[in-house]
Amino acid sequence: MAASRFIERLNEQIGYEFSASQQYIANAVYYDSQTLPRLAAFFYAQAVEERNHAMMMVQYVLDADAEVRIPGVAQPESQFADVVAPVALALEQERRVSDQVAGLMGVAREEGDFLSEQFVQWFLKEQVEEVATMSSLLAVVQRSVDNPMLAEDYLAREHSGGGTADPTAPTAAGGAL
Ligand SMILES: [Fe+2]
Ligand SMILES: [Fe+2]
């Protein structure tokens, strides 16, 4: 039985994941409007990942026979000063989510809720990767302010062919996109 305090906190996290997804769509649209298709594609894909994170959490709450609350989300930032700003915002967001996920782990531990602890483990590992990916990309775009094609080339080299499905990922409600 999942602890009700954990479920409460997980329902909040569902909202943060959907917000992250919306923010990444806004980032992608900005890059598309600047004719930077690789940066756009990168963030469109990240948006789907965040949506999937939310839906994995939805599935967990469903499986726990608890009430799922699908939240509205705040309007994402869509005005950016330059090509660096959306990535800087993304890194900040990923760091915040890492803290939130660590907080979830803390609640599961305090409640002696081992199943929930195990569920959160995957997200903790995922956050390590996402923070690392975003901080590398930030370094690249910072070097590319005067020539964003450098960042485009970097993404074409390092992030093409969209990731392979992770068999250890939790099940997403309705199936992962
Ligand atoms: Fe996420
Ligand atoms: Fe993320």
Q: Per residue in 2-28, pLDDT tens?
A: 999 999 999 999 999 999 999 999 999
Å from CA of 50 to ligand 2 middle: 6
pLDDT tens digit sequence for 48-103: 999 999 999 999 999 999 999 999 999 999 999 999 999 999 999 999 999 999 99
Å from CA of 66 to ligand 2 middle: 25
Å from CA of 17 to ligand 1 middle: 5
What's this model's pTM, rounded to 2 decimal places? 0.95
Å from CA of 162 to ligand 1 middle: 17
Residue 27 contacts by C-beta under 8 Å, 6 or more apart in sequence?
43, 46, 86, 87, 89, 90
Neighbours of ion ligand 1 (CB under 5 A): 17, 50, 53
Contact 64, 118 (CB under 8 A): no
Å from CA of 130 to ligand 2 middle: 6
Contact 7, 19 (CB under 8 A): no
Å from CA of 119 to ligand 2 middle: 16
pLDDT tens digit sequence for 116-150: 999 999 999 999 999 999 999 999 999 999 999 99
What would the mean pLDDT of 34-53 be, rounded to a whole number?
A: 98
Å from CA of 71 to ligand 2 middle: 18
**Rounded CA gap, 71 and 68, in Å?**
9
